[in-house]
Amino acid sequence: MANTHMQLQEILFSQGFGTRRVCAGLVQQGFVELAGVPYTDPAIEMVAKELCFTVQGVAWEYHEKAYLMLHKPAGYECSQKPSTYPSIYTLLPAPIRQRGGGAAAGVQAVGRLDQDTTGLLLLSDDGKFIHRMSSPKHHVPKVYEVTAKHPVDGQQVGKLLAGVVLDDDPRPVRAAACVQTGERQFSLTLTEGKYHQVKRMVAAVGNRVEDIGGLHRSRIGALDLPADLPPGGWRWLTASDLASIAGEAAKK
């Protein structure tokens, strides 16, 4: 969106700060500042791209589309309407959950992680990006750090690489890579996203994933979960982040 001018109230609305009436009210009451200067005219037009502003003292930057990473902690569901555990969306600020308004407001998770699985999760409000990253035809690799209930041996690793048959598909499912990293630990790379795939593959070779702390996603494509992003933390994807994962999807 090159140098598009928008009304200030429309900028706030697009970024999730409430209804148009609420956004207009925020401006009129002097709660919106640019470079430390409060603006009180909701209809004033400005270039939206890369606009930095504060709303009630909190700094924000305009993003035409949202692309985020979240370090998913255990005990959260990847659902807008969770059944047992709290939703991952409660870990995000309200404006990100409400971006764009309407019935489909806010960001959506790119794929899901089970409630007891931790690690890297991408979220976006860009439907094309979500489809590209989650579609099986693109085969974007995802790396999982697995802790098994019982010791891992070379035979199990070999079977995971050769392929195992799951109960919902007669075709073998193969790991793109599998490297043992400890007596009960291994790193598993998958390019598909079947339901409970890692747990079912490990069960198919005669082992099982440890119930607590047994499954952690450390990488998607060429994007690693940053060591300094704590469980429950999130951040915007950078241009280089997007380039790395988009490039990975484009290879397929």
Measured from the Cβ of residue 130, the count of other Cβ atoms closer than 10 Å reads: 18
Among candidate residues 108, 55, 75, the one with its CA nearest the CA of residue 213: 75
Q: What is the pLDDT of residues 82-106, one digit of tens each?
A: 889 999 999 999 999 998 776 567 8
Q: What is the pLDDT of residues 61-75, one digit of tens each?
A: 999 999 999 999 999
Q: For the residues 32-50, what does the mean pLDDT come to?
A: 95
Q: What structural domains and CATH numbers belong to the chain?
A: 5-61 (3.10.290.10), 67-133+228-250 (3.30.70.580), 141-220 (3.30.70.1560)
Q: For the residues 187-208, what does the mean pLDDT come to?
A: 92
- Beta strands 169-173 and 177-180: pairing type? unpaired
User: Is 114 tagged catalytic?
Assistant: yes
How confident is the model at residue 174, as a pLDDT? 94
> Residue 186 pLDDT > 80, yes or no?
yes
Crossing angle of helices 197-204 and 154-162, in 10° steps, is: 120
Q: What is the pLDDT of residues 133-166, one digit of tens each?
A: 887 777 889 999 999 999 999 999 999 999 999 9
Q: For the residues 202-222, what does the mean pLDDT come to?
A: 94
How confident is the model at residue 249, as a pLDDT? 52
In the set 41, 114, 211, 224, the catalytic residue is 114
Question: pLDDT confidence of 250, banded at 50, 70, 90?
Answer: very low
CA angle 103, 104, 108 (to 5 degrees): 150
Among candidate residues 70, 71, 74, the one with its CA nearest the CA of residue 84: 74
Among candidate residues 217, 216, 226, 219, the one with its CA nearest the CA of residue 245: 219
- At residue 164, what is the residue type? V
Tokens of 112: 């899901």
* Residue 108, H or E segment: strand 108-109
**Whole-model pTM?**
0.91
Phi-psi region of 232 (alpha: psi -120 to 50; beta: other; left: phi over 0): left
How confident is the model at residue 139, as a pLDDT? 81
How confident is the model at residue 85, as a pLDDT? 94
Overall residue count recorded for the chain in this entry: 252
Tokens of 123: 């979220």
CA angle 23, 27, 33 (to 5 degrees): 120
